[in-house]
Amino acid sequence: MKRSSGILLHITSLPGKYGIGTMGQEAFNFVNYLVESGQKLWQILPLGHTGYGDSPYQCYSAFAGNPLLIDLDKLVQEGLLKTNDLPDNIYFDDENVDYGKVHNVKYPLLHKAYENHTKNPNRLRSVKFDNFCHKNHKWLDDYAFFMALKKHFKGVAWTQWENDIKFKKPDSINYYREHLSDDINYYRFVQFLFYKQWLELKAYANLNEIKIIGDIPLFVAFDSSDAWAHPDLFDFDAHLNPINVAGVPPDYFSETGQLWGNPLYNWERLKETGYQWWIDRIEASFTLYDTLRIDHYRGLAAYWAVPFGEETAINGQWIEAPGGEMIQTVLDALGELDIIAEDLGVITPDVVELRERFGFPGMKIIQFAFDSGEENDFMPHTYDKNFVVYTGTHDNDTSLGQYKSSSEKDKKHMSEYFCVDKSDPAWSYVKLAWSTVADVALAPMQDFLRLDTDARMNYPGKASGNWRWRYTKDKLTPELAEELFKITRLYGR
């Protein structure tokens, strides 16, 4: 990767009138701000259709986009909604996403847009919609059917559906496809709207020499169209219950580990299919992004398997994965790809080898360097070029919050060895990241805005209350753009 820098900011955190950031005008304004401040990269979190807990790392599909990110004003411009359809008497918090309220307001309007499409067909849009459905049928048909069934069964997980449809008996499939045909088409149409708006935004970013770094979770959610449609690809028993589930052992974030609960892959079956599901997934991801960060990359070398039913992740075991063979198969099918390996956590030599074998850049976190008690792999002077350095990620405290919670001994260590300015620690972290030899430097928007812990995006292991932070448009000042532009030029990014 070329020497460059950018900002980590999820779409939900953008300003906007209706309670959540979208792919509308404020997203285009943010691209302009990246250009103004001399940045080349915009990293986002997974764009998937979020389920319980609103986590972008637990989605109903590994392919589908989040309908909540669709911009309503654009639907008015396209004639799918009228101005008086939009909410004008509902209070939305400008600094936090209230997902329940956003759900209640937005989904009825998306359905109204679909009804207007069907009642007043526009030939050009109809042809484009048909083309989209044909191009994406491999995942779109399963996803739309799954979501229609989920609505029919009042939102419960697919394992609680009637057995005939849970096990996809042909008669049941045919019955529900006919019975739920309108809902199925609605979910297809919403994905058409999502992809249209996202690809327009991505094209604008690319036109302005901004690359999009996307993010995919290694594992899929248990309650997902992927697990229901392709149970043979996962570690399930004859009753379609997981045998083991994903997590990580006790670590920096949690004394009991993190029990994610995602189904694990049936790697033998994936190998028999020539890893086609992975090829399709990676190919679809590069439709959405220019560069792809694979979250929990270490799980492609070996993954922590926890017996289904355990209450914590303590009683798991490491199981070797054929990630190298899978990646090589994907590269043989798709060609050279820009991939970042998220190699944080318990990193063993096999993980390092798997990353270096393909030349993928790994990750370094500035916040992890500031432990005065021990040497570690995150000391800035130990980096080499083929890394992406972050001040912190979506899983960390903000840099200001991390500094303020540090011991006096560690603060002294930061000051003496890393020149951290106690009057402006967040900006010191940014400058330190930008000054390293690592090819790419990134920081969350919260660190550029010098925000405290209350702006944190996620607490790993905490089931609710995450992914809520937003900034208000007045925060992106010309002064901040100039400040960022200067250090970016100073450090040759």
Active site positions, annotated: 295, 342, 395
C-alpha distance from residue 146 to each of 106, 193, 197, 230 (Å):
20, 19, 23, 12
How many CB atoms lie under 10 A from the CB of residue 398? 28
CB–CB of 244/264 below 8 Å? yes
Residues 6+ apart with CB under 8 A from 322: 267, 271
Contact 432, 354 (CB under 8 A): no
* CB burial string 119-135: b at 16+ within 10 A, e below: eeeeeebeeebeebbee
Judged by DSSP in three states, 64 sits in coil
Contacts of residue 217, defined as CB under 8 A and 6 or more positions apart, other chains included, come to 46, 57, 58, 59, 262, 295, 296
> Residue 268: exposed, middle, or buried by beta-carbon count in 10 A (0-12, 13-18, 19+)?
exposed
For the record, the structure tokens of 291 come out as 């560069």
Please answer whether residues 308 and 352 qualify as being in contact, where contact means their C-beta atoms are separated by less than 8 angstroms. no
Distances (CA, A) of 169 to 150, 151, 163, 175, 176: 17, 19, 9, 10, 11
Q: Which of 409, 367, 407 is nearest to 391 (CA)?
A: 367
- In 153-301, beta strands by DSSP E: 211-216, 244-248, 258-263, 291-294
Cα separation, 174 vs 406, in Å, equals 60
Burial status of residue 222 (CB atoms within 10 A of its CB: 0-12, 13-18, 19 or more): buried
